Amino acid sequence: MVRIWYDASVVAHSFVPASFWALKKSAMKDKYLPLAENLVFEEDGKVTGFISLVEDRVCALFVAPEMQGKGIGRTLLENSKTLRGKLSLKVYRENESAFGFYKKYGFVAAGEEIDEHTGCVMILMKWE
């Protein structure tokens, strides 16, 4: 899961240096993933994507770059909607692809804030 998170983060967040994500690998493995309920998508016994939930908040949704565009993210998101009934998340404004993805699946923008770690604008999105 950490490999998928890192590889997809570097691709999706070209506006953030790859070194930032590299420095966060151990925190993702040892702190963030263990705190969340993680649902994985497997293909041929290999994890190809995952979504991390803390209560009704989507903390992470990542699909291996080579597997993107095959409905894995949609499946993980739709399953999470069924489990929770409402969801919220934050997405970088510059990550237009992810913002469009969430809008397509019914999320609406509900505010903005500056990410203290990157200095980038994040959009709060909600689905109910």
Domain containing 93 equals 2-127
DSSP-derived pairing of the beta strands 37-43 and 57-63: unpaired
Report the C-alpha gap between 23 and 98 in whole angstroms: 23
DSSP-derived pairing of the beta strands 108-114 and 57-63: unpaired
The DSSP letter of residue 28 is I
The 10s digit of each residue's pLDDT in 76-95 is 999 999 999 999 999 999 99
pLDDT, position 68: 95
127 pLDDT band, cuts 50/70/90, is very high
Give the residue among 5, 8, 9, 6 at the shortest CA–CA distance from 120: 9
CATH number at residue 26: 3.40.630.30
Give SS3 for 108: strand
pLDDT, position 47: 97
Report the C-alpha gap between 51 and 69 in whole angstroms: 16
100 pLDDT band, cuts 50/70/90, is very high
112 pLDDT band, cuts 50/70/90, is very high
> For the chain, what is the domain count?
1
The 10s digit of each residue's pLDDT in 18-75 is 999 999 999 999 999 999 999 999 999 999 999 999 999 999 999 999 999 999 999 9
